[in-house]
Structure 1
Amino acid sequence: MRSEAVIRMRGETTMAVRILRTNVSTVATTGLRTFGRTVDLGAEALRGTVTDLLARRFQWREMLNQAWYLITVTTIPAILMAVPFGVVVSVQVGNLIHQLGADSLIGAAGGLGVVQQGAPIATGLLLGGAGASAIASDLGARTVREEIDALRVMGIDPVHRLVIPRVAAMVLVAPLLNILVIFVGIVAGYVVAVRAQHVTPGSYWATFGAFTTLTDVWISLAKAVLFGFVVVIVACQRGLEARGGPRGVADGVNAAVVLSVAAIIVINLALTQIVAMFVPMRVA
């Protein structure tokens, strides 16, 4: 009896391990294929943008409509996110610097924290939340209603008609949103430093200008553009591959938001390491 129970237990364990191995390999294979299709869509969008501009077939009206929609849904949330970024940096770093007797360096800490990290991450998260969900839901609804298939039947490429204008709109809005977050975050940090921590305005701006250079601003803008491009490509890919009716659209929107946020965090980590190696912090 014991031997039969042991044999049965071993058989169940072997079956569980086999099922787990099959599921893991299936998920890994599916993820790699999805990543490949996303990369192909991004490359096709870049090539199509150049060819459409040269052939004067670029969808300017669609691009402007999408850009205006992105601005309307992200401006207020960007301001609301930028204020806490600036305040938190000033309060947390300011308390530490105050104990060291270097209150004037709060401006440098606020500038580096907001410009290099806070602004591009806030921009990417906003675009990944509001922008990706809107784009994925729009394209997903078109896909389940078979509008995308109808475009292909009529000889119209959905990438040139729908994807490229949204990519251009996102790349256009991302740096503008990043500049807004930088401005609001720095102003919020300045108000907290001057009013609550009794830092003189002159020393705040002097250290801010000494440690925050124009290179930091360009790096921040480049990050925002890259984050916006990644977000819109992921959203378009999930929307064009939506299947199964409204449930499929909802799953596509959820996947677009989650994947966009995760990609932004990973890419920002890699870019931060690269920037730290090749563009070290300098005092202007």
Structure 2
Amino acid sequence: MTPGTAEETLRSNLTQPRTNGTDAEKTVRSASEASGRAVLFWIAGNARTLGRVVRLGARASALMAVDLARARFPMREALVQGWFFVSVSAVPAVLIALPLGVVIAVQVGSMTENVGASSMAGAVGGMGVMQQIAPLAAALLVGGAGGSAIASDLASRTIREEIDALRTMGIDPHRRLVAPRILAMSFVAPMLAVLVILMSIMASFAVASIGQGVAPGSYWLSFGSFASVTDLIVCLGKAAVFGYLVAVIASHRGLEAKGGPKGVADSVNAAVVLGILACMVTNLVITQIVLMFVPMRFL
């Protein structure tokens, strides 16, 4: 081996690790850039989906308002959908409200007894039911029963190309199908909240008066001293907003279903999960706003 050849071999061996290091750095950089682009694409896709949901809700609400003003709203469809939502949600509402009332009575009763304020059991339990439990229970009911029904119905129509057929005939699906469901759900959700309030408070009263020895008069007196019409209005307003959100999200998922029967199942699953999640986040926002402008009452 000549000196020149040995020198070239040594130089190539010295520079080889640096080349490998540079290639590894390039690989890591390209992988990080690909991950960054994937995250950006995911964020952009979710933002576009949110935009389509907002646009659907705004357009369906505008069409509903215009049709109601012109007396052209498909009220029969809204009544049919409303009765269906009530039929699938009323019994579960009672079954949810009774255990909730019993649990609240037991927990609140043990706490008030420890501090020597058993007469305040009605105020604590009733306020908790009206302010938080009833709207959230209504959100779970309309999100699980009503939202899945809306998503499955519209997704099945979309898969069978009935929605495209309506558009071909000049019928707007938002006006004919989405708007009546939004109106029906916005009315049914407050009704379910009232049912939950009634059954929960009655169950709590029965446990407190019979099982814990609380005087019936003191229970209702403490409840009436703290509860107000404002609390009931806020509860019903929350439930109406939750029903509206669930109906819009379920309608959007149903109208964008694709992929055959699997697409229908995916739409129903997404509608239920996203609807309940949106209600939880909205409940947090509304609660903070109410506490800012409507402070709690104290005797």
TM-score range normalised by the length of the shorter chain: over 0.9
The alpha carbon displacement at 1:234 in A equals: 0.4
Q: CA offsets, 1:240-279, max 9 Å, x none?
A: 1111111111111111111111101100011111111110
In structure 2, what is the equivalent of residue 266 of structure 1? 281
* Change beyond 3 A, Cα 1:55–1:105: same
Letter of the aligned partner of 2:219 in structure 1?
A: Y
Verify: 1:51 aligned to 2:62, yes or no: no
Please show how residues 86-235 of structure 1 align to structure 2 within 5 Å: 86-235=101-250
The alpha carbon displacement at 1:29 in A equals: 0.7
Distance in 1, Cα, partners of 2:170 & 2:86: 32
In structure 2, what is the equivalent of residue 237 of structure 1? 252
The alignment partner of 1:244 has SS state of coil
In structure 1, what is the equivalent of residue 290 of structure 2? 275
Relative to the length of structure 1, the TM-score reads 0.95
The alignment partner of 2:240 has SS state of helix
Distance in 1, Cα, partners of 2:58 & 2:99: 36
Distance in 1, Cα, partners of 2:203 & 2:174: 41
Q: 2:98 aligns with which of 83, 87, 90?
A: 83
Give unpaired runs (5+ residues) of structure 1. Answer: none
Q: CA offsets, 1:213-232, max 9 Å, x none?
A: 11101110000000000000
Verify: 1:29 aligned to 2:44, yes or no: yes
Report the more deviating stretch, 1-10 or 87-96: 1-10
Q: Which structure: larger Rg?
A: 2
Letter of the aligned partner of 1:181 in structure 2?
A: V
Distance in 1, Cα, partners of 2:287 & 2:20: 56
Give unpaired runs (5+ residues) of structure 2. Answer: 1-15
* Change beyond 3 A, Cα 1:198–1:9: farther
RMSD: 1.5
Distance in 2, Cα, partners of 1:39 & 1:76: 32
Letter of the aligned partner of 1:27 in structure 2?
A: W
Relative to the length of structure 2, the TM-score reads 0.91
The alpha carbon displacement at 1:4 in A equals: 6.2
Aligned residues: 284
Distance in 2, Cα, partners of 1:212 & 1:142: 46
* Seq. identity, %: 51
